[in-house]
């Protein structure tokens, strides 16, 4: 999250109808910026699938690097209307190993995002929703970093 920390690694999923990996684990800021620049909306919001897929990706990475700190940061401007429903997400989430369920999930909303959906999701995952419509993005990242 801190683009100044050379040790931070990122991966990026775009999620519309389903999660789509656009950048696998990397420390390369140029590669990440290029991947972000290629992300375009294409309808639908599979928010619960995206968060679950991100956590599952971290499960695999955690096996290789168990001492890293992990977090999911999901940005959305829509209402979850594709893929899993909240109840489905909750059941799948409960099947994850306990240490993966301990990974913080931060939701950042823009535009027409449904704050109710996001609050329900973070009640399950135990973290926080940030409203980027009211708070500058740099302040959101600073607050997220404070949780780590």
The pLDDT tens digits for 74-126 are: 888 877 878 899 999 999 999 999 988 888 898 888 877 778 878 888 889 88
Closest among 147, 16, 13, 148 to 79, alpha carbons compared: 16
pTM over 0.95: no
Residue 80, token pair as written in the block: 């979850």
DSSP collapsed to 3 states, 92-122: HHHCCCHHHHCCCEEEEECCCCCHHHHHHHH
């Amino acid at each position: 999250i801190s683009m100044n920390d050379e040790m931070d690694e990122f991966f990026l999923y775009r999620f519309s109808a389903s999660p789509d990996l656009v950048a696998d684990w990397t420390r390369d800021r140029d590669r990440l910026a290029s991947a972000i620049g290629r992300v375009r909306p294409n309808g639908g919001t599979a928010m619960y699938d995206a968060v679950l897929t991100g956590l599952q990706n971290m499960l695999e990475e955690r096996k290789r690097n168990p001492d890293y700190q992990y977090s999911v940061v999901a940005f959305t401007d829509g209402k979850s209307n594709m893929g899993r429903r909240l109840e489905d997400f909750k059941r799948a989430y409960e099947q994850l190993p306990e240490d993966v369920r301990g990974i913080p999930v931060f939701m950042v909303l823009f535009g027409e995002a449904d704050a109710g959906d996001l609050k329900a999701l973070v009640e399950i995952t135990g973290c926080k929703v940030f409203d980027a419509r009211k708070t500058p993005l740099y302040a959101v990242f600073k607050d997220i970093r404070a949780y780590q």
